Homo-oligomer: A and B are copies of this chain.
Amino acid sequence: MSEKTITAFARQFGLSRATLLYYDKIGLLSPKTTNQAGYRLYGVDEEKRMERVCLYRQAGLSLEDIKSLLDQNCDTALHQALEDQLRQTSQQLAALKARQRLIMDLLGRPETQMTVNQWVKMLEEAGVDEAGRKLWHQAFERDAPQEHEAFLYGLGLDQTEIDAIRARSQ
C-alpha cells in the first residue's frame, strides 16, 4: 500500500505532524482509514486533497474557506474567493510598500526610486535617442498597456503626464 502514517505524510508536504492533527480536528483533512491501533493512514485521496489545500493556502485563503470550498466543490465560489483574496493581497502589497518607504525615511536613506532622468540616461547609454524612446513607448503601450502605465507611475510621474505619454504612444 502507498498509505502513509501522519509524520511521513506531513513531511511530504513540508508540514508538521501537529498541523495535520489540527487539520483533522477541524475536518479539513481527515483520513478515511485508520490502523487497528487508531493510527491515521493517508492515501491517494488524501494526497490529492492535500495538494489543493496547500495550493489555496499559498494563495492566502483561510483554512475555513478552503474547507468549505473543497467540500462544496463549487467553481464559482472558488472563483469569488480567489477574487477577494486578490483584492486583499493587492491592498496588503500597497501597505507594505508604504511601510518600506516609511522605514527608508526613518533611516534617512535617499529615495531609491528611479527617476525619469535616470532612465533616459540609461537608455541613452544603450544607444537610444529621442526617436528610439518613442518607438519604445509605442511598443510598450501596444504590448502591455497596463504595465506601461504602472511603469510610468513607478517613475513618479503624475496621472496627467502619464496620460500624455500614453496618448503620444498610440
Show the binding face of A for B, using Cβ within 8 Å: 55, 58-60, 79, 82-83, 85-86, 89-90, 92-93, 96-97, 99-100, 102-104, 106-107, 112-114, 118, 121-123, 125-128, 132-133, 135-136, 138-140, 143-144, 146-147
Q: Would you call the interface of chain A mostly helix, strand, loop, or mixed?
A: helix
Whether B82 contacts A107 by the Cβ 8 Å rule is yes
The answer to whether A139 and B126 touch across the interface, beta carbons within 8 angstroms, is yes
Residue of B nearest to A93 (CB): B96
- Which of B59, B97, B127 touches A106 (beta carbons < 8 Å)? B59
A104 to B93, CA, bound (A): 15
A-B contact pairs, 30 of them (CB 8 A): A55-B102, A59-B102, A59-B103, A60-B99, A79-B107, A82-B106, A83-B107, A86-B103, A86-B104, A89-B96, A89-B99, A92-B96, A93-B93, A96-B96, A112-B146, A112-B147, A114-B144, A121-B139, A121-B143, A122-B139, A122-B140, A123-B128, A123-B136, A125-B136, A125-B138, A126-B132, A126-B135, A126-B136, A126-B139, A127-B135
